[in-house]
Amino acid sequence: MKIQHRITFDSEDNVEEILDALNLKYNKTPLFERYLLHVDISESHPYWPEIEALRQEKGAADIYHTEFTHQEIRQAEWSVLGRDFFQGYPQPEDTWEKIVYENECPKCGVGYQQKGPFHLSKEPRLGKKEFVSLHWTYAIFCTSGVLDKLQLMPIRGYEVWPAILHRTGQPSTQISQLIFPRIAQSGLADVDKILPETCPVCGLTKYGFCKRGQLHIHRESLLVDTDVQLTHEWFGSRGYGGRREILVSKRLAKLILDEKWRGIALKPIKLI
C-alpha cells in the first residue's frame, strides 16, 4: 500500500529549479500565458518531505489516493470496485437523468434509483478494455466476454441491463450495464465518517470519499449470500450528487485479477 500524490504548481510559483535540483520529473500543462507543473510522487519517496513542505509553502493543489498491490487485494475478504476508464456522455446530455433515475433529491442529489437504461451517443471504442464508464455517471459497463465469465463462476448479486444507442434505439452490441441491487446494512466505521453532510430535505447523510488507506466497515453489516453489494452509506460530500460504493467479494476480485480485466480498479477494505 502506498499513498500517491499529484501536486500541481503554478509556473509563477518558481519551483522548477527546486524540482530540477531534486531530479524530480514533472509535466507541464499550458494555461494562457502561464503553465502548470504536475509532480507525481508517493509518500514513500525520499524527497516527499521536501515536496510536501514546498506544496504547503506555495499553496499548491494536491490530489491523492491509495494504491494497493495485487497481493493485498487478493488477501482481502471484500474490496471496493471503482471505475478506471471513461468514454462518452449519457444521452441526451441535457435530460439524461430524467430518463435514467428517479427519486433523486433536488437538494443533495442522492437517494436515486435507476429506472431505465443509459443511452449512448455511439458504440464505445474499448481497445483492450473490458470495462468502461460514462462521464458524469457512476455506472459500470462491460463486454459480453465479461458476462460469460460472471455467469460461468457463477457470480451472485448483479443484473444486466442494455445500453441503448440513442439515435437508433437499439441495444449496444459491445457493452451492457452491470446493475447491483443488493445493499448492505449501515456499517461504516466512525473513523471513515469524514466530512458528514446531512441533507435538510431528504435527511440522507453523505460522507467524504476514503482516499487515504482502507475503508473500514463492520463485518456484521455485510450480506453473506452475494458477491456484490452496495454500501448503505452515500459518499460525495461537499458537492451535488454522490454514490454508494460497490463492494465485491474475494472470489470476484480474484476473477478480475486472474482475467486481467481493464477499465476498473480494486481497493481492499478492512472489516472490523
Q: Give the pLDDT band (50/70/90) at residue 199.
A: very high
244 in helix, strand or coil?
strand
Q: 81, 68 in Cβ contact below 8 A?
A: no
Q: What share of the chain in percent tops pLDDT 90? A: 99
Average pLDDT over residues 57-68: 95
Cell of 162: 442494455
Task: Give the Cα-Cα-Cα angle 62, 236, 147 (nearest 5 degrees).
Answer: 105
Q: Give the pLDDT band (50/70/90) at residue 159.
A: very high
Cell 494555461 locates to 31
Topology of the domain covering 2-67: Alpha-Beta Plaits (3.30.70)
Cell of 255: 476473477
Put simply, whether the predicted model's pTM sits higher than 0.85 gets the answer: yes
Q: Encode pLDDT of 134-157 as tens digits.
A: 999 999 999 999 999 999 999 999
Q: In the chain, where are the structural domains located?
A: 2-67, 71-83+182-271, 96-179
